[in-house]
Amino acid sequence: MSKRVALVSHSDYELRGLKYAIERAIDLCGFDLKSTTGKKVLLKPNMLGAYKPSRHVTTNPQFVMACAMIFKEAGAIVSVGDSPNGVFAPKDAWALAGFDDVCKRLGIAAASFEGAGSRNIGGIWISNAALDADIVVNLPKFKTHGLTVLTVAVKNMFGCVPGMMKSKYHRENPDRKDFAELIVRACEAVKPGLNIVDGIVAMDGNGPSAGGFKELGIIAAGMDPYRIDAACSKLVGLDPFEVDTMDAAARLGVINKDLDFEVVGDDIVEIRDFELPSTYTKRRRDWAISRFVLKRIWNNVSSKPKINVDVCVKCHLCVKACPVGAIDAESPGTIPKIDYKKCIECLCCHEVCPHRAIDIVPSFLVRIGRALVRLNRRRR
Ligand code: SF4
Ligand code: SF4
């Protein structure tokens, strides 16, 4: 497998220029487009939920369109698919994200991840839509993530778990390290053949759905999702193994901690003003404290979801999304309440709230940790 990660500088979603830039990135990373002729190619964007492209939560539909055109021209049998967070009807998410339009305009199939059935691969259920493709082309959005720090290529493969099964895995794996290992297992089960990252407008702050927009102007492409994530982490000033999925992959022996990669393409300098999620705490590695101690002081270092009553529209999507039933609404039309004794801090509610009404409130210790990390980053 090629160790190359291609970085191409590109600043907008105008189709013609975008297609050219993506073709260049594919070529630079060493992927042979001709190898896809006659093959079933599944494009797997990030379709977290029913969000308009202007929210930059999902992979931009023009990005998906450009990729679909490239693979169609190469003679591949192209389809597009993803499974949104279980509380969203896939049809709604599909239409609002603009992927419906892409499929109709190009006459390509929209793969139903829920309708295709699933198989258990290495202990995780994966949609047959992904498993039966000859090549999965991973099209992640470059975003921060409250649980894993970043979501790029590896985390995007968790969308191959169909529907509510994702919530079940959250419930069964409350420890973020266990959950990150599960994501790596999903990535290993699917093994995307190519990864092309939409980092033109990324999301920083409290992603993956309520962060800020960040015009990074970057397209990254490569055949190895771990090398892609490593390169993207470094771009925003992170040690790759501070990203939970990368750390989990090393723990599972999927990659080594000395993972090397060759960056080709445009000269892109480290982005210094990329805001990390409030849950990010470098102390996890800097202080090397044991899990036993960590558990004891967890209440002081954790970040909890909090409903902003001024913004909440009482849609109760968060109630449905909570895998452990920690959010309750007395009746329709009331603001839900979070039972912090039950909460496992999976942040699914924060992820699904379409109105950014769930804040992540860091504890006092976390705030101190973040200030120290910022100071440290400025000094570097
Ligand atoms: S917090 Fe968000 S998801 Fe929950 S009821 Fe309010 S608006 Fe809906
Ligand atoms: S309240 Fe939110 S963070 Fe807590 S368990 Fe439920 S979905 Fe997860």
User: By CB neighbour count within 10 A (0-12 exposed, 13-18 middle, 19+ buried), where does 219 fall?
Assistant: buried
Task: Establish whether residue 347 lines the binding site of ligand 1, counting it when its CB lies within 6 angstroms of any ligand atom.
Answer: no
Task: Establish whether residue 218 lines the binding site of ligand 2, counting it when its CB lies within 6 angstroms of any ligand atom.
Answer: no
Local structure of 195: helix, strand or coil:
strand
E runs forming strands in 92-228? 109-111, 118-121, 124-127, 135-139, 141-145, 149-151, 194-204, 212-214, 218-222
Helix 61-73 × helix 99-106 angle, to 10°: 30
User: How far does the centroid of ligand 1 lie from the alpha carbon of residue 311, in Å?
Assistant: 8
Query: Picking from 62-71, 113-122, 208-217, 355-364, which range would have the lowest pLDDT averaged per residue?
Result: 355-364
Say if strands 303-307 and 358-362 run parallel, antiparallel, or are unpaired.
Answer: antiparallel
pLDDT for 136 equals 98
pLDDT at 194 over 50: yes
Q: Are 331 and 314 in contact (CB under 8 A)?
A: no
| Phi, psi (deg, nearest 5) at residue 60 | -60, 135
Cα 252 from Cα 181, distance rounded (Å): 7
Task: Establish whether residue 307 lines the binding site of ligand 1, counting it when its CB lies within 6 angstroms of any ligand atom.
Answer: yes
Task: Establish whether residue 358 lines the binding site of ligand 2, counting it when its CB lies within 6 angstroms of any ligand atom.
Answer: no
pLDDT for 207 equals 95
Say what percent of the chain tops pLDDT 90: 78
Mean pLDDT of 269-289: 73
Cα 125 from Cα 6, distance rounded (Å): 31
Cα 49 from Cα 167, distance rounded (Å): 14
User: How far does the centroid of ligand 1 lie from the alpha carbon of residue 318, in Å?
Assistant: 6
Cα 26 from Cα 47, distance rounded (Å): 22
Amino acid 270 reads: E
C-alpha 46 chain-centroid distance: 7
pTM to 2 decimal places: 0.86
User: How far does the centroid of ligand 2 lie from the alpha carbon of residue 322, in Å?
Assistant: 5
pLDDT for 288 equals 45
User: How far does the centroid of ligand 1 lie from the alpha carbon of residue 279, in Å?
Assistant: 20
pLDDT for 37 equals 98
C-alpha 339 chain-centroid distance: 27
pLDDT for 290 equals 47
- Nearest ligand, CA 167: 2
- Which residues neighbour 279 within 8 Å (Cβ) at sequence distance 6 or greater? 146, 147, 149, 303, 347, 360, 362, 366
Place 297 in a pLDDT band, splitting at 50, 70 and 90.
Answer: low
Task: Note the pLDDT tens digit of each residue in 195-241.
Answer: 999 999 999 999 999 999 999 999 999 999 999 999 999 999 999 99
Task: Establish whether residue 39 lines the binding site of ligand 1, counting it when its CB lies within 6 angstroms of any ligand atom.
Answer: no
The dihedral built from the CA positions of residue 221, 227, 229 and 230, taken in this order, carries a sign that is: negative
Strand partners, 128: none
Closest protein CA for atom 6 of ligand 1: 312
Task: Establish whether residue 316 lines the binding site of ligand 1, counting it when its CB lies within 6 angstroms of any ligand atom.
Answer: yes
pLDDT for 90 equals 87
Q: Are 304 and 327 in contact (CB under 8 A)?
A: no
Place 283 in a pLDDT band, splitting at 50, 70 and 90.
Answer: very low
Place 304 in a pLDDT band, splitting at 50, 70 and 90.
Answer: confident
User: How far does the centroid of ligand 2 lie from the alpha carbon of residue 143, in Å?
Assistant: 20
Q: Are 10 and 17 in contact (CB under 8 A)?
A: yes
Q: Are 265 and 256 in contact (CB under 8 A)?
A: no
Chain-wide mean pLDDT for the chain?
91
Task: Establish whether residue 147 lines the binding site of ligand 2, counting it when its CB lies within 6 angstroms of any ligand atom.
Answer: no
Cα 368 from Cα 144, distance rounded (Å): 20
Place 281 in a pLDDT band, splitting at 50, 70 and 90.
Answer: low
User: How far does the centroid of ligand 1 lie from the alpha carbon of residue 368, in Å?
Assistant: 29
pLDDT for 2 equals 84
